[in-house]
Chain A
Amino acid sequence: MPLPRGGAYNAGTMATDTVEQLHAEALRGLAEAADARALDAWRIEILGRKGRLTSVLRGLAELSIDERRSVGAAANALKAELEAAFDERAEELRRASFAATLASDRIDVTLPARPHRRGGLHPVTQMTERILDAFRSMGFSVVEGPEVELDYYNFEALRIPADHPARDMWDTLWVDETVDGRRPLLLRTHTSPAQIRTMEQQQPPIRVAVPGKAYRFEATDTTHEWQMTQIEVLAVDEGLSMAHLKGTLLELMRRLFGRERQVRLQCSYFPFVEPGAEVAVDCFVCSGAGCHTCHQTGWIEMMGAGMVHPEIIESMGFDSARYTGFAAGMGVERLAMQAFGVDDIRYFYQNDLRLLQQF
Chain B
Amino acid sequence: MRLSLKWLSEYVDLRVTPEELAAKLTHAGLAVDAIVRTGDWGPEIRVGRVSAVDPHPNADRLRLATVEISAEETHRVVCGAPNIAAGQKIAFAVVGARVRDGHSGKDAVLKPAVIRGVESAGMVLSEYELRLSEDHEGILVLPESAPLGAPLSDVIGDVIFELSVTPNRADWLSVLGIAREVAALTGAEVREPPVDYGEAGAPIKGRVTVDIDAPDLCRRYVATLIEGITIGPSPAWMQERLVALGQRPINNVVDITNYVMLELGQPLHAFDYDEVAAGHIIVRRAREGERFTTLDNEERALAPDMLVIADERGAVALAGVIGGLESEVTERTVNVLLEAANFAGAGIRRTSAALRARSEASARFEKGLPPELAMIASKRATRLFVGLCGGKAATGAVDVFPGKKRDARVEVPRERIARVLGIDPPVSKVRSVLGSLGFSARWVPPDRYVVRVPYWRPDVRIGDDIAEEVARIIGYDEIPAALLAGSIPAPIAQPRRELRERARRMLADAGMREVIAYSTTTLEALRRVMPAEDLAIYPPYRLVNPISAEHAYLRPTLRASILQTLASNLRYQKGEVAIFEAARVFLRPDDRPADAGRPFGEERQPDERERIIAAVTGRRADRWGRPGEESVDFFDAKAYAGALFHGLNVDVTFAPVDEYGFTPGRTAAICAGEARLGVIGQVHPDVAGAFDIAQDVYVFEVALEALLPLAGGDRKLAPVPRFPAVEQDLALIVDEDTPAGTLQEAIESSSLVRSAQVFDVYRGDQVPEGKKSVAFAVAYQSPDHTLTDDEVAKAQRKILERLRREFSAEQRGA
B514 to chain A, nearest CB (A): 4
Chain B residue contacts of A177, Cβ below 8 A: 541, 604
Contact of B484 among A124, A187, A213, A244 (CB under 8 A): A244
Answer yes or no: B554 CB below 8 A from chain A CBs. yes
Answer yes or no: A118 CB below 8 A from chain B CBs. yes
Q: Cα distance A122–B471 when bound, in Å?
A: 40
Q: Would you list 28 pairs from A and B whose C-beta atoms are within 8 A, ordered by A residue?
A: A119-B507, A119-B509, A120-B514, A121-B508, A124-B516, A125-B516, A143-B494, A144-B496, A146-B601, A146-B608, A150-B602, A163-B346, A163-B366, A177-B604, A206-B489, A217-B545, A241-B418, A243-B421, A244-B483, A246-B480, A247-B482, A265-B476, A265-B479, A266-B26, A274-B465, A351-B516, A353-B515, A353-B572
Contact status of A275 and B472, CB under 8 A, knowing A120-B514, A244-B482:
yes
Chain A residue contacts of B118, Cβ below 8 A: none
- Interface members, chain A 167-182 (any B CB < 8 Å): 168-169, 173-177, 179
Answer yes or no: B207 CB below 8 A from chain A CBs. no
Q: Cα distance A106–B422 when bound, in Å?
A: 69
The main secondary structure of chain A at its interface with chain B is mixed
Contact (Cβ within 8 A) B484 A119: no
A135 to chain B, nearest CB (A): 10
Stretch of B108-116, B442-450, B617-625, B722-730 lying at the A interface = B617-625
Contact (Cβ within 8 A) B518 A205: no
Answer yes or no: B468 CB below 8 A from chain A CBs. yes
Answer yes or no: B420 CB below 8 A from chain A CBs. yes
Contact status of A150 and B605, CB under 8 A, knowing A207-B489, A243-B482:
yes
The closest CB in chain B to the CB of A269 belongs to B166
Contact (Cβ within 8 A) B605 A146: yes
Contact (Cβ within 8 A) A235 B481: no
Answer yes or no: A33 CB below 8 A from chain B CBs. no
Answer yes or no: B594 CB below 8 A from chain A CBs. no
- Interface members, chain A 70-128 (any B CB < 8 Å): 112, 114-122, 124-125
Answer yes or no: B568 CB below 8 A from chain A CBs. yes
Contact (Cβ within 8 A) A148 B608: yes
Chain A residue contacts of B419, Cβ below 8 A: 239, 241, 324
Answer yes or no: B578 CB below 8 A from chain A CBs. yes
Q: Cα distance A90–B518 when bound, in Å?
A: 72
Answer yes or no: B349 CB below 8 A from chain A CBs. yes
The closest CB in chain A to the CB of B583 belongs to A213
A90 to chain B, nearest CB (A): 38
Contact (Cβ within 8 A) B569 A351: yes
Q: How does the 8 Å CB contact mask read for A164-204 relative to B, with 1 for contact and 0 for none?
A: 11101100011111010001110100000000010000100
Answer yes or no: B492 CB below 8 A from chain A CBs. yes
The closest CB in chain A to the CB of B580 belongs to A119
A272 to chain B, nearest CB (A): 12
Contact (Cβ within 8 A) B605 A176: no
Q: How does the 8 Å CB contact mask read for A226-259 relative to B, with 1 for contact and 0 for none?
A: 1100000001011111111011101100000000
Contact of B544 among A176, A265, A354, A356 (CB under 8 A): A176
Q: How does the 8 Å CB contact mask read for A260-291 relative to B, with 1 for contact and 0 for none?
A: 00011111110100111110000000000000
Contact (Cβ within 8 A) B604 A268: no
- Interface members, chain B 591-615 (any A CB < 8 Å): 599-602, 604-606, 608
Chain A interface (Cβ < 8 Å from any Cβ of B): 112, 114-122, 124-125, 129, 138-139, 141-150, 161-166, 168-169, 173-177, 179, 183-185, 187, 197, 202, 205-208, 213, 215, 217-218, 220, 226-227, 235, 237-244, 246-248, 250-251, 263-269, 271, 274-278, 307, 309-311, 324, 348-349, 351-354, 356-357
Contact of B623 among A115, A145, A251, A311 (CB under 8 A): A115
Contact of A242 among B166, B421, B621 (CB under 8 A): B421
Contact of B577 among A183, A235, A310, A353 (CB under 8 A): A353
Answer yes or no: B345 CB below 8 A from chain A CBs. yes
Task: Classify chain B: how many residues form its interface, as a range.
Answer: 35 or more
Contact (Cβ within 8 A) A176 B542: yes
- Interface members, chain B 343-369 (any A CB < 8 Å): 345-347, 349-350, 366-368
Chain B residue contacts of A115, Cβ below 8 A: 621-625
B21 to chain A, nearest CB (A): 15
Q: Cα distance A238–B103 when bound, in Å?
A: 58
Answer yes or no: B543 CB below 8 A from chain A CBs. yes
Contact status of A269 and B169, CB under 8 A, knowing A179-B604, A310-B464:
yes
Chain B residue contacts of A276, Cβ below 8 A: 29, 468
Q: Cα distance A349–B561 when bound, in Å?
A: 12
Q: Cα distance A77–B28 when bound, in Å?
A: 103
Q: Cα distance A82–B49 when bound, in Å?
A: 120
The closest CB in chain A to the CB of B515 belongs to A351
Contact (Cβ within 8 A) A145 B600: yes
Contact (Cβ within 8 A) A275 B467: yes
Answer yes or no: B512 CB below 8 A from chain A CBs. yes
Contact (Cβ within 8 A) B544 A139: no
Answer yes or no: B27 CB below 8 A from chain A CBs. yes
Q: Cα distance A120–B350 when bound, in Å?
A: 49
Contact of A275 among B346, B464, B487, B497 (CB under 8 A): B464
Contact of B471 among A114, A162, A197, A267 (CB under 8 A): A267
Contact (Cβ within 8 A) B492 A143: yes
Chain B residue contacts of A218, Cβ below 8 A: 547
Question: Which of A129, A162, A218, A352 has the most chain B CB atoms closer than 10 A to its own CB?
Answer: A352
9 other A-B residue contacts (CB within 8 Å) besides A115-B621, A243-B480, A267-B28: A121-B508, A173-B546, A175-B554, A175-B606, A202-B492, A205-B486, A244-B482, A275-B420, A353-B515
Answer yes or no: B576 CB below 8 A from chain A CBs. yes
A119 to chain B, nearest CB (A): 4
Contact (Cβ within 8 A) A352 B604: no
The closest CB in chain A to the CB of B421 belongs to A242
Q: How does the 8 Å CB contact mask read for B644-659 relative to A, with 1 for contact and 0 for none?
A: 0000000000000000
The closest CB in chain B to the CB of A321 belongs to B416
Answer yes or no: B167 CB below 8 A from chain A CBs. yes
Chain B residue contacts of A173, Cβ below 8 A: 543-547
Chain A residue contacts of B621, Cβ below 8 A: 115, 117
Answer yes or no: B505 CB below 8 A from chain A CBs. yes
Contact of B422 among A242, A267, A268 (CB under 8 A): A242
